[in-house]
Amino acid sequence: MSSVAGPLVRHVVRATGCLGAGLLLAGCGLISTTPPTPTAAPFPGIASAITERGIQVTRIVSGDPGCPNQDLAKTAVAFDAAGLDQPAPVHVYIYIFRNRATYERLRSTVDDCARAYVTDPETYESVETSPYVVSGQGPWGEQFKANLRAAIDEAAGSGD
């Protein structure tokens, strides 16, 4: 009796294993059909997108908002940027907000903060795409500004 039960048990175990593997593979196919929602990049991803567009990023200082606002300090990175039609480096601040809601709530504080580092309000420059604001003293070259905007647009993902 045991000599017959052994092969039967092995066939049942093998069939169950094959059925389980088939269900697992079918389930994986269902999961991968929906592309993930793009999320906003942290600063290294932003800097990479900027650099890929011909703008050099140097003298990076994390936590420097350009003003005494400690809430903005948590989101800020200061850096120098030059390239394209902006041959002289400009000191730029990027504010990286957690999500669109935080961006919308704190966006106006960036302009208030800029009053501390902008020496000529007529040439103040900024580009923004939720959840980022990039600002600094201008004037900025048109290609420089357009490529900076394109870089943060790419890095922003869905903006959340």
Dump the DSSP string for the chain: -HHHHHHHHHHHHHHHHHHHHHHHHHHHHHHTTSPPPP----HHHHHHHHHHTT-EEEEEEET--SSS-HHHHTTEEEEEEEETTEEEEEEEEEEE-SSHHHHHHHHHHHHHHHTTT-S-GGGEEEEEETTEEEEEESPPPHHHHHHHHHHHHHHHTT--
Residue 102 maps to which CATH number? 3.30.200
Read off the pTM.
0.76
Residues 18, 82 within the same domain: no
For the chain, state the CA radius of gyration. 26
Do 144 and 69 belong together in one domain?
yes
Model confidence pLDDT, tens digit, residues 35-94: 656 678 889 999 999 999 999 999 999 999 999 999 999 999 999 999 999 999 999 999
Residues 62, 30 within the same domain = no
Domain span at residue 22 reads 1-34
Residues 51 and 121 in one domain: yes
The answer to whether residues 75 and 101 belong to one domain is yes
| Number of domains composing the chain | 2
Same domain, 30 and 102: no
Do both 84 and 28 map to the same domain? no
